Amino acid sequence: MEKPDKCSQKFYPCILGKKRTKPNDRKKCETVGMRRFLRRNFLVEASSNDILCNKCRHKFYKQQQTTSAKISSRETTQQQNYQQQKTAVSSPPSISLPLHRTASSHAYCFICRRPGPKLIVVPSSARFSAFLNKEIIIPPGSRCCPSHVEDGDFTPGVLLDINTLDSSLLNRTTILELIRKIREYALKSSSKFTFDSSSMNSCDDVTLTGITKENFDDLHKSIADDVRNTQNRHPRMSLGIFLLKLRSGMSYQLLSTIFGISKSSLRRAMKSVRSALMKNFVPNNLGLQHISREDIIEKHTRPLAQELFGNINHQQVIVVLDGTYIYIQKSSNFQFQRRSYSIHKGRSLLKPMVVVSTDGYFLSIVGPYLADYKNNDASILNHMLKTNVEDLKSWFKDDDVFIVDRGFRDAIEVLEEFGIKAQMPCLLGKGERQMSTLDANSSRLVTKIRWVVEAANSRIKHWKYLAHTLPTNQIPYIGDYVRIVCAISNKYYKPLSSGNVDDDIALAAKMRHLSTQINTLKTFVEENSLDKRSVNWDVAPESLVFPKLDEEEIRNLTCGVYQLKLCPSYVQEYLDGDVSILLHKEFPGLIRVKLQSRHISSKMYLLWIQFSESNITAWYCRCRAGARVVGVCSHIASVIWYLGFAKHNVESMHGVQDWSDFVMDAAVIDESSSSDESEKEE
C-alpha cells in the first residue's frame, strides 16, 4: 500500500475560497453563529472542524456588528416611544373610587373659599401628603392661599374642616402616579436613618444626634468639603452616624445592622468626620485662641461671680477648673496600665482638664493626662502653667481668678507666682471635725460658683460613648472626641448658668454680708451644753407651730437649689426610722433632730433650729459645714422643708421609692421558719 503524501496532510483549505490557509490565518467554525452565517449567506453547511480564513471570518464579524447596532437602535426607539407615552396627555377620568376628593377650582381657595387673585397652585408634595395622612384626593392644579402651605406641605390643622366629596373619578395616569409616589415613600421609610433633610424632623435629630435639624445643617456645612461622598454614604449620613455613635455609645455591630453598612465603612466614616471637625469646627469654637478676654468677661461671666470674686476697679477673667474622667480598658502594656490606673476610682482611666467660664462655656480642654499619683489635679495645673499650654501666660493677666477645689491645693503657690488669684474651699485643720463659721462661709461662696464645672463634666458624659469604658485602640482619639462635644456644646447649647443681673447683685450682697457673721446658735448650744442634757428635751407634738414656708422662701435660706433636691430623700429615711423631733422645755422656739448621714451608716448628725412664729432665726448642725450662716447644710434644709412645707403639701413627698422589697438581704434571717424546721426534724 502506498503511503499518503506529506504535503496532502498539511493542506487546510478555507471552506469558502478553497484556498490553502497558513497556520496563523485559519480558525475552525466552532461557534453556532458562524455556521449559521455561512448557511444563510453562502448556502454552505459547515461543521465544527471546517476551516475559515481570516478574510472570510471578518465578513462574519462585520455583519455581527451591523446587527448589534440595529438592535441597539431599535431599543432606543422603543425607549423614546415609552417616554412619549409616559409624558402624553392624561387619559380621561373613567375610574370611580370611594376616596374623598376636594372640589377643583382655579378661582378660589379650595380650603377657605377665598377668591383670588393671590392664590398659589398646591404643590405635588402637599397633595400627596394630604392623600397619605388624610385620604383626601386634591385634583392637580387646585389652588389655595399661600398661608395654608409651608415648606411644601400644608400647615397643621388646615385640612380638618374642609368640604369633600365622597367619591373620586380618577384616570389611569393619576392612579399610576399615586402608586409611584407611595412606592418611593415606602422605600424612603424603610431606610429612614439616612439623615437627609427631607427624611428627618427636628425631634428625630435631637434624639439621635443631640442637636436640632438647623444645627445639624450648619455643622454639616463645616465638613462637607472634607468628607467623601461614597456609594454607601454621603457626608450628611457620615456626620449623623458619627454623632449617633457619640450620643448613644452603640457598637459598630449594632450600627452596621441599623444602617446596612459594613463595620469597616463605619470606621472610615468616623475617622473622616472626626478629622474634618477637628480641622474646621473645633478651632473656631474651643480653645483660648478662639475667643478674646473681653468676650469672656462680657458674654460668659455671671454677674454673681464678678460681685463675689471680682475687682471693683477693673473686671477680671474668672474661670473654673476641674479634671474629668474617661474610663478605658486595661492595656496589655504593663507600664501604661500602671500609669493609667487611678487609686481614687479603682479603675483605668485618662484625665482631661476642663476649663470653663462661670456660665458653663468651655474655654479649653487640655490633655488627656495619665491617672497615677504623679498626675493629680495640682500636678496637671502646674504642667499647664510651666509648659504654657495654648499660650496661657499671655492670655491670662494679673489678678485673674481661678476657682478650684481642694485637689489643687499644691498648685496655689505656682498660681500666685504667675499673678493669678486662686479661690478654693477651706481645708480642715489637723484633728478638726468641723469647719469654723468663717471658713464654712467662705467655702460656700466658692461652691456657689464652682458647681458649674461639675455640670459641664456631666454635659460631656451625656454623650454616652464618653461615659462608657473605651477600648485601648481609641486612646489616641479621646482628646479629639472630648473637644468635639465641648465645641458642639459651646456652639449650639444654652449656657448652664445664667442669672438676672439685678438678682445676682442682690444675692452676692446678701452672701457677702452673711459671710462676715458668726453663728450665734452654735455659741448658745456650746455654752449651755444642749447636746448633752437630754432631760430638757421633749418629743415635739404634732401641733408644733412651725413657720409655714414656700419653696422660694426655703431657697432664700439655702442660697441655692442643691440642698432642696436632697430634702425628700433625707425626710423619707427620717420618716421610716425611729428618730423624733425634740422640743426644748425652756426655749419653745428651739428644736433638736438627729439625722442619718447619707454616706456613712455609723454616723448621725445632731442639729438645732431656732424659729419664731413667722420665720427661721438661727440654725446649727454638727456636720463638717454645718456651722455656716451663708445658706444651710442639706440636713437643716431637710428639717425646715419637712416642717415648713412638706407637711402641708403631702404630694411633694412622692417620688422617693424604696426598692428594698424587691431585693433580698442576706443579713435578715427569719428565725421562726428555721425553728419550725428544727422541730419537724426532732
pLDDT surpasses 60 at 85: no
Q: 3-class SS at 52? A: strand
Task: Select from 225, 251, 284 the last residue of a domain.
Answer: 284
Q: Which of 218-227, 433-442, 662-671 has the lowest mean pLDDT?
A: 662-671
Q: Which of 7-11, 423-427, 633-637 has the lowest mean pLDDT?
A: 7-11
Q: Are residues 308 and 451 in the same domain?
A: yes
How sure is the predictor about 199, in pLDDT bands with cuts at 50, 70 and 90? low
Residue pair 573/596 in contact (Cβ under 8 Å)? The answer is yes
pLDDT of residue 351: 93
Residues present in the chain in total: 682
Task: Select from 284, 304, 327 the last residue of a domain.
Answer: 284
Q: How many helices (H) and strands (E) does the chain have?
A: 25, 22
Please give the Cα distance from 355 to 340 (Å, whole number): 22
Residue 120 lies in a domain: yes
What DSSP designation does 278 have?
I
Q: Which of 15-19, 23-27, 348-352 has the lowest mean pLDDT?
A: 15-19
pLDDT surpasses 60 at 682: no
The stretch 303-315 carries a mean pLDDT of: 80
Q: Where are the alpha helices (DSSP H) in 30-138?
A: 32-42, 54-86, 124-134
Residue pair 38/16 in contact (Cβ under 8 Å)? The answer is yes
Q: Are residues 405 and 312 in the same domain?
A: yes
Residue 315 lies in a domain: yes
How sure is the predictor about 681, in pLDDT bands with cuts at 50, 70 and 90? low
pLDDT in tens, 464-486: 999 999 999 999 999 999 999 99
Residue 512 lies in a domain: no
> Which span out of 6-10, 161-165, 397-401 was modeled with the highest average pLDDT?
397-401
Phi/psi at 373 (5° precision): -65, -20
pLDDT of residue 4: 45
Task: Select from 141, 163, 190 the last residue of a domain.
Answer: 190
Q: Which residues contact 54 (CB under 8 A, 6 or more apart)?
A: 21, 25, 26, 27
pLDDT of residue 24: 77
Residue 670 lies in a domain: no
Q: Are residues 321 and 433 in the same domain?
A: yes
**Total count of domains within the chain:** 5
Average pLDDT over the chain, rounded to an integer: 82
Residue 28 lies in a domain: yes
pLDDT of residue 680: 54
pLDDT surpasses 90 at 152: no
Which CATH number belongs to the domain containing residue 471 in this structure? 3.30.420.10
φ/ψ region of 231 (left if φ > 0, alpha if ψ in -120 to 50, else beta) reads: alpha
Instruction: Quote the cell numbers at residue 328.
Output: 478605658
How sure is the predictor about 274, in pLDDT bands with cuts at 50, 70 and 90? very high
Residue 160 lies in a domain: yes
Q: Are residues 106 and 51 in the same domain?
A: no
Q: Which residues contact 593 (CB under 8 A, 6 or more apart)?
A: 574, 579, 581, 582, 606, 607, 609, 639
Please give the Cα distance from 148 to 158 (Å, whole number): 7
76/350: higher pLDDT: 350
pLDDT in tens, 523-543: 888 888 887 766 688 888 877
The stretch 409-434 carries a mean pLDDT of: 87
Residue 418 lies in a domain: yes
Give me the percent of the chain exceeding a pLDDT of 70. Answer: 88
Q: Are residues 260 and 336 in the same domain?
A: no
Q: Are residues 366 and 493 in the same domain?
A: yes
The stretch 504-519 carries a mean pLDDT of: 87
Residue pair 564/637 in contact (Cβ under 8 Å)? The answer is yes
Q: Are residues 471 and 411 in the same domain?
A: yes
Strand partners, 101: 137, 165
- Residue 252 to residues 235, 236, 241, 264, 474: CA-CA distances in angstroms? 18, 18, 10, 9, 13
**Cell 489678678 maps to which residue?**
399
pLDDT surpasses 70 at 192: no
Q: Are residues 372 and 235 in the same domain?
A: no
The stretch 221-244 carries a mean pLDDT of: 84
518/79: higher pLDDT: 518
Q: Whole-model pTM?
A: 0.69
Q: Are residues 368 and 450 in the same domain?
A: yes
Q: Are residues 117 and 261 in the same domain?
A: no
> Which span out of 98-107, 116-125, 272-281 was modeled with the highest average pLDDT?
272-281
The stretch 173-180 carries a mean pLDDT of: 76
Q: Are residues 381 and 396 in the same domain?
A: yes
How sure is the predictor about 2, in pLDDT bands with cuts at 50, 70 and 90? very low
Instruction: Quote the cell numbers at residue 452.
Output: 458649674
Instruction: Quote the cell numbers at residue 148.
Output: 395654608
Residue 127 lies in a domain: yes
pLDDT in tens, 578-604: 667 888 888 888 888 888 888 887 888
pLDDT of residue 89: 46
pLDDT surpasses 80 at 175: no
Q: Are residues 373 and 292 in the same domain?
A: yes
CA 648 to chain centre: 39
CA 665 to chain centre: 38
Domain containing 54: what range? 6-67
557/230: higher pLDDT: 557
How sure is the predictor about 187, in pLDDT bands with cuts at 50, 70 and 90? low
- How large is the angle between the packed helices 252-259 and 235-248, nearest 10 degrees? 140
Please give the Cα distance from 467 to 458 (Å, whole number): 9
The stretch 353-362 carries a mean pLDDT of: 91
Return the H-helix or E-strand segment holding 326: strand 326-327
Strand partners, 422: 402
Q: Which of 123-127, 165-169, 233-237, 607-611 has the lowest mean pLDDT?
A: 165-169
659/88: higher pLDDT: 659
pLDDT of residue 226: 84
pLDDT of residue 200: 61
pLDDT in tens, 32-78: 888 888 887 777 788 888 888 887 887 888 887 777 777 776 666 66
Q: Which residues contact 575 (CB under 8 A, 6 or more apart)?
A: none
Q: 470, 451, 443: which is closest to 359 by C-alpha?
A: 451
